[in-house]
């Protein structure tokens, strides 16, 4: 019996059920992934015990010689992977990474030009529901009504009108490549800084499949747990000149002790990301997303922007007469986990929505390729076209189960009931 099962059976049981849920369903939430056993081992290590306020070689406490090793490795590996000048691996999450950048270069009341939340942007890019819209003034660009890709004429005119101190280029639900050079050109016309938030596409950029914002942007923030496939956390890259100020804003500015076990796991994930295997994994994510998009288009669905360049796609459900909420709930019952998502110019609220977002990073980690994606596209089509046909839904649940069984996830944990 495990230590945990003995000490706390309620928590142990919940973790076991979660392991089984992850293995027994198709995880297609675009922001989720499955980390390696090596990452989990580092994350579950004694480094959680260590206080290490400060940075390698200049800490406030003694005994930091080994945590220094892992933090240095994480920094060096990110520099190699992304070609960054300065890296801070301490942000607890993606939002903290963005917060640190704002604290570094903005004063309260300054203007942030970010992407409209309902067009694909993120709460932390100036939304009134987030600190970023309470301390700062959020102004928002969106996508063009026809192409559903970023409307750079609008970015430019808003930049000229509002003179933002920082322009945020990045999104949570945008299926197309982002042109950082265009953001740079516009920012230069109005003297703005550019923050590229690559939370979702960090892995694709690390693998060289999407253009890197590092040369064109003063700041690049990311999460380490989405396509990058590391532990839950944040990371910031910036130009050397901003490095010392940025580090001081993370600590002591807004965080206390860094999560050294997570930083150790970040180092492990970054080492994995430097391999050829990781590059082929990222390429397969994109191939899988394209295959899924093609199959869904053939089945008659409308996709926002007509397709995808990355790891995700957005289905507009309006013509089917169902909401994103209904689609999410029904797909979940058949073992396909996705999320409801607003589409550009949505007429429904964020709790109902006219769309759903589907991503391929996690199923690709399990080893699924085009053939399996075609099966999955068939399941999704069947479910969404027959949302009230309980008999059919039960059949699909069985098929999803047997597909999952063919691609084991955390097999040792499943075998050992942990």
Ligand X SMILES: *Cc1c(COP(=O)(O)O)cnc(C)c1O
Catalytic annotation, residues: 51, 53, 197, 223, 226, 232
Q: Minimum Å distance from CB 221 to ligand X?
A: 7
Residue 175 as a binder of ligand X (CB under 6 A): the answer is no
Residue sitting closest to ligand X (CB): 94
Q: Minimum Å distance from CB 316 to ligand X?
A: 20
Residue 223 as a binder of ligand X (CB under 6 A): the answer is yes
**Cβ pair 121, 140 in contact under 8 A:** yes
Q: Minimum Å distance from CB 398 to ligand X?
A: 33
Judged by CB under 6 A, the residue of 73, 167, 199, 356 near ligand X is: 199
Residue 93 as a binder of ligand X (CB under 6 A): the answer is yes
Q: Minimum Å distance from CB 240 to ligand X?
A: 24
Window contacting ligand X (CB under 6 A); options: 1-9, 90-98, 134-142, 365-373: 90-98
* Contacts of 133 by beta carbon, 8 Å cutoff, 6+ apart: 126, 127
Residue 201 as a binder of ligand X (CB under 6 A): the answer is no
**Cβ pair 202, 237 in contact under 8 A:** no
Q: Which is nearer to ligand X, 170 or 335 (CB)?
A: 170
Gyration radius of the chain's alpha carbons = 22
Q: Which is nearer to ligand X, 227 or 330 (CB)?
A: 227
Tokens of 322: 């169902």
Q: Minimum Å distance from CB 399 to ligand X?
A: 31
Residue 90 as a binder of ligand X (CB under 6 A): the answer is no
Closest CA to 81 of 185, 246, 198, 170: 198
| Binding residues among 118-157 for ligand X as defined by CB under 6 A | 122, 124
Question: How many residues sit close enough to ligand X to count as binding (CB under 6 A)?
Answer: 14
| Binding residues among 227-256 for ligand X as defined by CB under 6 A | 234
Residue 95 as a binder of ligand X (CB under 6 A): the answer is yes
CA dihedral 174, 188, 112, 152 (to 10 degrees): -40
Residue 342 as a binder of ligand X (CB under 6 A): the answer is no
Judged by CB under 6 A, the residue of 22, 31, 227, 288 near ligand X is: 31
Spatial distance between the Cα atoms of 128 and 189, rounded to a whole number of angstroms: 27
Q: Is the peptide bond before 252 cis (omega within 30 degrees of 0)?
A: yes
**Cβ pair 240, 85 in contact under 8 A:** yes
* Contacts of 49 by beta carbon, 8 Å cutoff, 6+ apart: none
Count the Cβ atoms, other than its own, within 10 Å of residue 54.
18
In Å, what is the CA distance from 242 to each residue of 126, 135, 186, 193? Answer: 21, 21, 21, 12
Query: In what helix (H) or strand (E) does residue 11 lie, and over which residues does it extend?
Result: helix 9-24
Judged by CB under 6 A, the residue of 43, 172, 291, 341 near ligand X is: 172
Window contacting ligand X (CB under 6 A); options: 56-64, 89-97, 183-191, 254-262: 89-97
Window contacting ligand X (CB under 6 A); options: 62-70, 72-80, 193-201, 295-303: 193-201
Spatial distance between the Cα atoms of 65 and 70, rounded to a whole number of angstroms: 9
Q: Which is nearer to ligand X, 86 or 122 (CB)?
A: 122
In Å, what is the CA distance from 214 to each residue of 121, 165, 197, 267? Answer: 20, 19, 11, 20
Which residues bind to ligand X, rule: CB under 6 A? Answer: 31, 93-95, 122, 124, 170-172, 197, 199-200, 223, 234
């Amino acid at each position: 019996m495990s230590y945990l099962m003995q000490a706390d059976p309620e928590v142990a049981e919940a973790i076991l059920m979660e392991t089984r849920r992850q293995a027994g369903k198709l995880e297609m939430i675009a922001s989720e992934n499955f980390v390696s056993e090596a990452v989990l081992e580092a994350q579950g290590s004694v480094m959680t015990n260590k206080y290490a306020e400060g940075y390698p070689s200049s800490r406030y406490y003694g005994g930091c010689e080994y945590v220094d090793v892992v933090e240095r490795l994480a920094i060096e590996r990110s520099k190699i992977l992304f070609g960054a000048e300065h890296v801070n691996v301490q942000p607890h999450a993606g939002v903290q990474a963005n917060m640190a950048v704002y604290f570094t270069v903005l004063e309260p009341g300054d203007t942030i030009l970010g992407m409209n939340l309902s067009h694909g942007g993120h709460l932390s890019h100036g939304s009134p529901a987030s600190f970023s819209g309470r301390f700062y003034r959020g102004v928002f660009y969106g996508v063009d009504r026809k192409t559903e890709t970023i409307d750079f004429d609008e970015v430019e005119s808003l930049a000229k009108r509002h003179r933002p101190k920082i322009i945020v280029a990045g999104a949570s639900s945008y299926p197309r490549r982002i042109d950082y050079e265009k953001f740079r050109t516009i920012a230069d016309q109005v003297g703005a800084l550019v923050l590229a938030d690559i939370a979702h596409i960090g892995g694709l950029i690390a693998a060289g499949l999407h253009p890197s914002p590092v040369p064109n942007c003063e700041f690049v923030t990311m999460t380490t747990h989405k396509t990058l496939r590391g532990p839950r956390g944040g990371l910031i890259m910036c130009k050397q000149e901003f490095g010392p100020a940025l580090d001081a804003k993370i600590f002591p500015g807004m965080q206390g002790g860094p999560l050294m076990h997570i930083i150790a796991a970040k180092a492990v994930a970054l080492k994995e990301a430097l391999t050829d295997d990781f590059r082929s994994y990222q390429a397969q994510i994109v191939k899988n997303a394209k295959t899924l998009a093609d199959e869904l288009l053939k089945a008659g669905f409308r996709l926002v922007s007509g397709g995808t360049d990355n790891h995700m796609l957005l289905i507009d459900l309006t013509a089917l007469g169902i909401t994103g909420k209904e689609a999410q709930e029904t797909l979940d019952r058949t073992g396909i986990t996705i999320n409801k998502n607003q589409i550009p110019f949505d007429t429904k609220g964020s709790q109902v929505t006219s769309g759903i977002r589907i991503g391929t990073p996690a199923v690709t980690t399990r080893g699924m390729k085009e053939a399996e994606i075609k099966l999955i596209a068939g399941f999704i089509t069947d479910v969404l076209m027959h949302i009230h046909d309980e008999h059919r839904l039960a059949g699909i649940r069985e098929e999803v189960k047997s597909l999952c069984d063919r691609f084991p996830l955390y097999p040792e944990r499943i075998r050992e009931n942990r």
